Structure 1
């Protein structure tokens, strides 16, 4: 289950990273054609946020195995992260294209869709990160506890210590 969750996170991460890079084209176009600052800002936010979001998923995917949560909660958190990143992807690209910020409910279907997608992304990503952070803290505490029982003062140093040369 965890490898499937990690694959889903990594696949979504690569695709969102691609979309984030592609958002650089309308950003450059808006700058070169002297569009209003609000349009430039919207594409800048879309470009940088989606690149950052894609990298975040790529960073979480290989480290999912150390998160100490039941596999069902890992799968739930991974699914929530994927849905949230795709919600943000829609909100940021559609919002930049149509001129909706997505931070407050506006008039019209486009503004409502942008706002709803943005808020869904905020709620789902917050819950998912809280779950994964809890599982990471549990892992960290167990690692320190195991090191203390083994007589190590700081157990992580033994993991990353350089090899000792033997003759």
Structure 2
């Protein structure tokens, strides 16, 4: 496994861990019969980060097989890592403060969640596009 794949596996494992740990406040919110918006926020943090970390680990497994030049491989890895950490800020923080961050307005807490969501979404999009590009290059 190459260095980039190892970095992606490491950071994917960290994102996965944060997602799994987000299950603790999720369970507490359910047991305390907290308002559904708070439960939903923790459910999104728990499931979204767990899936994101798992996806990063899956990307790392196929990375050495892709026909990508070193620059594109680096962009795929680091955009995925930045995306994962953007969501690690946005999702738990949003659940904690009760903001969804779907628009860049309102209080500063919502703007923080929005910024994390945008970093996460853009990084995910770049990583996924490069994954598809690398796969197409590999089969053509």
TM-score (norm 2): 0.95
Moved over 4 A (4+): none
CA distance in 2, matches of 1:95, 1:119: 13
Q: Which residue of 2 aligns with 1:36?
A: 35
Q: Which residue of 2 aligns with 1:17?
A: 16
CA distance in 1, matches of 2:58, 2:130: 16
- More relative contact order, 1 or 2 (CA 8 Å, 6+ apart): 2
The count of corresponding residues between Structure 1 and Structure 2 is: 140
CA distance in 2, matches of 1:52, 1:98: 22
Q: Which residue of 2 aligns with 1:47?
A: 46
Q: Which runs of 5+ in 2 are unaligned?
A: none
SS at match of 1:94: helix
CA distance in 2, matches of 1:96, 1:86: 16
Q: Which residue of 1 aligns with 2:131?
A: 132
Question: 1:106: Cα distance to partner?
Answer: 3.0
What CA deviation, in whole Å up to 9, does each residue of 1:92-130 have, x standing for no partner? 011011111021123122111110110111112101210
Q: Which residue of 2 aligns with 1:26?
A: 25
Q: Which residue of 2 aligns with 1:77?
A: 76
Compute the RMSD of aligned alpha carbons: 1.1
Q: Which runs of 5+ in 1 are unaligned?
A: 142-167
SS at match of 1:64: helix
SS at match of 2:12: helix
Q: Which residue of 2 aligns with 1:154?
A: none
